[in-house]
Amino acid sequence: MRLVSVFCCAVLAILTFSGAANAAPVLLTEIPAYDWYHGCGPTAAASVLGYWELHGYTNMFTANDPDVYLTANVQDQISSPAHNTKYDPTPDAGGPVPAFTSIADWFQTSVDPLEFGWSYLSDSDNAFTGYAGYRGYTFNSWFEGYVTAGAPGFTWADLVAEIGAGRPIMFLVDTDGNGGTDHFVPVFGYDDRGQDGLWYGCYTTWTEAETVAWYQFRGMGNDWGVGYATFCVPGGGQVPEPAALMSLVTGLALLGGYRLRRKA
């Protein structure tokens, strides 16, 4: 059973907190923020890959610093005109499948039977490895579910380790706390606030002018709770054994709904 995520249109607010933090927040720098473009999945993945564009992988986009920060300069790599022409209408406009040239192609964003803006979690690793390979780079990617009692999964320690290693990741989250995932976001920071909890830093994908948004590191059923994390590692890296990976996802059908985007 495939896992599905959909672009969320909740009105967004950055959470505030009280109480002193144990230490200063840890944030990676040079993470491009992009305005939502044809799906939260390819938009969030573009922020992660844009980071790597600015850290030695200079052929990732047909844009250079500072142009890589502008959605208009990388939008064809987020979702190509050919992809948009075929899949934006509902139902499918027909005709041949376009060549794979953008993140949305490997993410299978909006591909039938999905509606406009939807992306499968199970294609999130392909979005990173496939697109990077097309641009001439070897990347490795896999996804893990949020750790729950009695089951392995993605932990706070994993988040700290990835950010500490200089690697942003992508979360699939439950923005409205209803127990189902509905939005992909690029994650590039963490903050241990002691008695006020553990927090992750991300972009919401609603604007390229945004600053970091902070949400508590908790599981689904909480506002902005974490469902899954997709790793993006240049040059390879360790991938979970298939059996272990399937133990994380078997029986979990995460389906969200699509609504028109609203701005706060």
Residue-level pLDDT, tens digit, the chain, 264 residues = 444 444 333 333 333 333 445 589 999 999 999 999 999 999 999 999 999 999 999 999 999 999 999 999 999 999 999 999 999 887 788 889 999 999 999 999 999 889 899 999 999 999 999 999 999 999 999 999 999 877 789 999 999 999 999 999 999 999 999 999 999 999 999 999 999 999 999 999 999 998 999 999 999 999 999 999 999 999 965 544 433 333 333 333 343 222 233 222
With beta carbons less than 8 A apart as the criterion, state whether 181 and 172 touch: yes
What pLDDT does residue 92 have?
Answer: 83
Say which CATH class 4-249 falls into: alpha beta
> Domain limits of the chain?
4-249
What pLDDT does residue 48 have?
Answer: 98
Distance CA 53, CA 133 (A): 14
What pLDDT does residue 162 have?
Answer: 97
The first and second tokens of residue 233, run together, are: 């590692």
With beta carbons less than 8 A apart as the criterion, state whether 91 and 66 touch: no
What pLDDT does residue 17 have?
Answer: 36
Give the per-residue SS3 of the chain: CCCEECCCCCCCCCCCCCCCCCCCCEECCCCCCCCCCCCHHHHHHHHHHHHHHCCCCCCCCCCCCCHHHCHHHHHHHHCCHHHHHHHCCCCCCCCCCCCCCCHHHHHCCCCCCCCCCCEEHHHHHHHHHHHHHHCCCCEEEEEEEECECCECCECHHHHHHHHHCCCCEEEEEECCCCCCCCEEEEEEEEEECHHHCEEEEECCCCCCCCCCEEEECCECCCCCEEEEEEEEEECCCCCCCHHHHHHHHCCCCCCCCCCCCCCC
What pLDDT does residue 189 have?
Answer: 98
